[in-house]
Amino acid sequence: MEKIRKIILSENEMPRQWYNIQADMPNKPLPPLNPATHKPVGPEDLAAVFPMELIKQEVSTERYIDIPDEVLDLYRIFRPSPLFRAFNLEKALGTKSKIYYKYEGGNYSGSHKANTAIAQAYYNKAEGVRRITTETGAGQWGSAMSFACHHFGLELVVFMVRVSFDQKPGRKLLMNTYNAKVIPSPSTMTAAGRSVLEQDPDSPGSLGIAISEAMEVAIQDPYTKYSLGSVLNHVILHQTIIGQEALIQMEKAGDYPDVVIGCFGGGSNFSGIAFPFLREKLLNGKDIRLVTVEPASCPKLTKGKFMYDFGDTAGMTPLLPMYSLGHNFIPDKIHAGGLRYHGAGVLVSQLLKDGFIEAKAKLQRECFEAGVLFARTEGILPAPESNYAIAGALDEARKADLEGVSKTILFNLSGHGHFDISAYEKYFENNLPDHELSSEEIDKSIANANLPNLM
Ligand SMILES: *Cc1c(COP(=O)(O)O)cnc(C)c1O
């Protein structure tokens, strides 16, 4: 039989609905709380920050939500995305297992972030918003939002985490090309930024700080709203297009995964590929494991605490029930900038707590090693974030071989690494330190967050 290396779908086969896991979760997530009153926040509390349609999606329990035509129209430029069987990688490993990957790097932003950027820009435009503020870590989210905002005629201001701003000048220029304004964070433009700089003028920044800055600017102007690239339920909803497609593609391949793997920053690419498969498990009893892989230097799922915490550093968001390292946590400058976030999305947190998904943490050198092997066999240079998923997939294949069994492994290749080449340079120079957090450091950071116990 001929080898099928790539499973593609036609535009007509593209799913037209996102999947909402909130319909099928046995334990619904706890509500977000107002930090002052400790009462659940209502839609009106969020209206200064997000358009109403996204707030509705945030709390919806409808199983399927129609993708608007304007969004489908832009999706069609790069979706459905291909699913590959990694024959060359399998051969290099000498594994008996089958390894598949869904490739989300083949769009203008180079990552899965375009899937929600387009939807968010669309809903903001439809409600009369003129300007959007947002944060970006490694720059993928900022790039995704820049093009989407420009397409729908919105202005965009991006607060880019300082360490990534310095490491990845190409990303800033890409955002500028799409007409966005990019400001390194912490900045002197906001009270949140100035307060961090007073304490540490050389602060490398963090996603939490950049979120505070972007929110602060947004709430001061009725025509400006804020947009987040991960973590929130509506973001995760938009990413389920990945798994919706992958289900059809695996069926076309005549296969079904035993395990689905994604790297973990705030949860969007993992949830995007995994939740449609989790639906099959919850509703149809399909046996499957879902595995997240996070950096050992930012281990919220494996070592954080399930608690009510803020989504940002300054404490401007509602309190969210999630696994967190504490909102003041400043992760080590690992090169997977998109994974440097102190918390985890509420949906993933609840599902992890309830035992539906697994979490593991890895050191960065092992992940770069996996990424280089992948590049040398499959030809795609992965984003440093995606290397964590690849390393997770290699673990599964090796474990199966030791047990003398063959598994079908599917992972999400969340993006390409063309703007991250300096991180690979450091890896080749043997200049990429491993950093693992001690439990004392974690306890200290959680105590530092100074939160009431609301669980
Ligand atoms: C942003 C990003 C991530 C991490 O964010 P999630 O919301 O956890 O997916 C992972 N991979 C790439 C390529 C990214 O751009």
Protein residue closest via CA to atom 10 of ligand 1: 385
Q: Where are the alpha helices (DSSP H) in 314-419?
A: 346-353, 364-378, 384-402
Atom index in ligand 1 nearest the CA of residue 270 equals 9
How far does residue 343's CA lie from ligand 1's centre (Å)?
Answer: 13
Q: Which two tokens stand for residue 63?
A: 């199983």
State the average pLDDT over residues 60-80.
Answer: 98
How far does residue 141's CA lie from ligand 1's centre (Å)?
Answer: 8
Protein residue closest via CA to atom 8 of ligand 1: 265
In this prediction, residue 1 carries a pLDDT of 56
End-to-end CA distance of the chain: 56
In this prediction, residue 28 carries a pLDDT of 95
In this prediction, residue 201 carries a pLDDT of 96
Protein residue closest via CA to atom 14 of ligand 1: 338
In this prediction, residue 196 carries a pLDDT of 96
How far does residue 105's CA lie from ligand 1's centre (Å)?
Answer: 11
How far does residue 451's CA lie from ligand 1's centre (Å)?
Answer: 27
How far does residue 264's CA lie from ligand 1's centre (Å)?
Answer: 7
State the average pLDDT over residues 187-197.
Answer: 97
- What is the spatial distance between Cα 242 and Cα 358, in angstroms, rounded to a whole number? 20
β-pairing verdict for 289-295 and 358-362? parallel
Mutate which of 81, 111, 291 for ligand 1 pocket (most atoms within 8 A of beta carbon)? 111
* Angstrom distances, CA of residue 214 to CA of 92, 176, 198, 275: 45, 17, 19, 29
> Which tens digits make up the pLDDT trace of 321-376?
999 999 999 888 778 878 889 999 999 999 999 999 999 999 999 999 999 999 99
Protein residue closest via CA to atom 4 of ligand 1: 265
Atom index in ligand 1 nearest the CA of residue 138 equals 15
Q: What is the mean pLDDT of the chain?
A: 96
In this prediction, residue 138 carries a pLDDT of 86
The model carries a pTM of: 0.97
How far does residue 419's CA lie from ligand 1's centre (Å)?
Answer: 14
The pLDDT confidence band at residue 203, using thresholds 50, 70 and 90, is: very high
How far does residue 238's CA lie from ligand 1's centre (Å)?
Answer: 14
Atom index in ligand 1 nearest the CA of residue 140 equals 15
Residue spans per domain, the chain: 6-13+68-110+240-448
Protein residue closest via CA to atom 9 of ligand 1: 269
Residues in contact with ligand 1 (CB, 6 Å cut-off):
111, 113, 140-141, 230, 263-270, 338-339, 383, 385-386, 414-415
Q: Which two tokens stand for residue 393?
A: 């997939």
In this prediction, residue 290 carries a pLDDT of 98
How far does residue 263's CA lie from ligand 1's centre (Å)?
Answer: 7
Give the domain 6-13+68-110+240-448 fold: Rossmann fold (3.40.50)
Q: Check residues 451 and 132 and name the one with the higher pLDDT.
A: 132
> Which tens digits make up the pLDDT trace of 266-301?
999 999 999 999 999 999 999 999 999 999 999 999
Non-local CB neighbours of 101 within 8 Å, separated by 6+ positions: 83, 84, 86, 378, 393, 410, 411, 412, 413
Rg (CA), the chain: 20
pLDDT exceeds cutoff 70 at 391: yes
- What is the spatial distance between Cα 150 and Cα 21, in angstroms, rounded to a whole number? 31
pLDDT exceeds cutoff 60 at 61: yes
Non-local CB neighbours of 282 within 8 Å, separated by 6+ positions: 24, 25, 26, 356
β-pairing verdict for 155-161 and 131-136? parallel
Q: What is the DSSP letter of 370?
A: H
- What is the spatial distance between Cα 390 and Cα 192, in angstroms, rounded to a whole number? 36
* Angstrom distances, CA of residue 161 to CA of 168, 255, 329: 10, 41, 14
State the average pLDDT over residues 95-108.
Answer: 98
Mutate which of 109, 116, 140 for ligand 1 pocket (most atoms within 8 A of beta carbon)? 140
How far does residue 198's CA lie from ligand 1's centre (Å)?
Answer: 30
Q: Where are the beta strands (DSSP E) in 192-324?
A: 224-227, 259-263, 289-295, 305-310, 319-324
